[in-house]
Amino acid sequence: MLITRPVRVDCNGATLEGDNSRATGILIDSRGESLQGVEIRNCRVHGFTKLGLGIGWSVPDGKKRQIVGGDDPQRYVSRTPSGTHLIGITIEDIGGVGIYIDDHATGTVIDNTTVQRVSGAGIYLEHDSSGTSIVRSRILQSGWDGARPMQPGIAIDASADNRIEASTIAGNGLGGVFLYRNCQERGLIDPESVPRTHGANGNRIQGNRIDGRVGVWVGSRMSRNLRSMQCGRTPYYKNADMDVVLDEARGNYVSGNAFGGPANWGMIVEDDDTIVEHNAFVGPFANGSLLIGTKYRNQVLNLPVRGTVLRDNRTPEKQAPHWEFGSTQ
């Protein structure tokens, strides 16, 4: 299904079947023009090889940059979808990403929707998208390549001011919700790769049930070896085996969630000014309930994680939060 103009679609429970041979189930494509208020309800999307449902302007990033004349996000606002509503959707057994919110799409609402058994991230929020609301939804058993964990349930990639609320995020490959700033992957070799203008900042994760290897990871690439990604951004630390690039996920709010297990950590915080309050860390956790700190940034740049606020969280006995690598409240 290709949607290029404002329309309301109610599938009334019907299935769009990909037969494991078609690439994309539903694509909402602005084609570089204003596209506001598309609404899709009550559809089941099953068995597509690449994408369950996508929202964006479907040309390569480098081409968009040429058309709009630079990286200023405001130049994209009138050319990408805004105010899209997805209500009561079910997306299952997809070979790639379940729901993909492409760059600069704004104000998407994902309500009472289920994404399960997709190989990529269940929901992926691409760079410079903003204002997505994921509410009363379920992101389950996604991010697996066979038995290998490959992606989290929800990836927030240089996307800001989103909220995830009253949802269940469980059984996903790498974990629940990962927040990070893409290092401009393949920027050294791909002319279509563009820089990210900001990080995964100002997001709210509230009132959810979350489990996985790491429930929520703020700054999930801050200490990761990114050499294989051939980043366009310059590493601040290199050795014979690794490149480490500064991540960014600042000013995020995590409140009222229940973090289950089994997991390595309930939550990891590797960037500044995160508020963590009123959460129940239930576990079991192999390493601990909560880790605050980032190794290489502190050691190399003398920039520990600062400004973390912990308030009224409940943790298992003998699993108090770990403050490491110079991190401070």
Q: Which domain holds residue 259?
A: 2-323
Judged against a pLDDT cut of 90, whether residue 74 lies above it is answered with no
Is residue 199 a part of any domain in this protein?
yes
pLDDT of residue 169: 98
pLDDT per residue as tens digits for the range 152-208: 999 999 999 999 999 999 999 999 999 999 999 999 999 888 888 899 999 999 999
Q: How many CB atoms lie within 10 A of CB 236?
A: 14
pLDDT per residue as tens digits for the range 5-17: 999 999 999 999 9
The single residue listed with the structure tokens 């003398």 is 302
Is residue 328 a part of any domain in this protein?
no
Is residue 299 a part of any domain in this protein?
yes
Is residue 21 a part of any domain in this protein?
yes
Q: What are phi and psi of 67, to 5 degrees?
A: -65, -45
Is residue 203 a part of any domain in this protein?
yes
Is residue 12 a part of any domain in this protein?
yes
Q: Which residues lie closer than 8 Å to 66 by C-beta, 6 or more apart? A: none
Nearest to 7 by CA among 109, 81, 115: 81
Judged against a pLDDT cut of 90, whether residue 70 lies above it is answered with no
How do 237-238 and 243-244 pair as beta strands? antiparallel
Number of domains forming the structure of the chain: 1
Judged against a pLDDT cut of 90, whether residue 49 lies above it is answered with yes
CATH number of the CATH domain containing 15: 2.160.20
- How many whole angstroms separate alpha carbon 119 and alpha carbon 149? 9
pLDDT per residue as tens digits for the range 113-167: 999 999 999 999 999 999 999 999 999 999 999 999 999 999 999 999 999 999 9
- Mean pLDDT (the chain) is 96
Q: How many CB atoms lie within 10 A of CB 120?
A: 23
Q: H or E segment at 62?
A: helix 61-68
pTM (predicted TM-score): 0.97
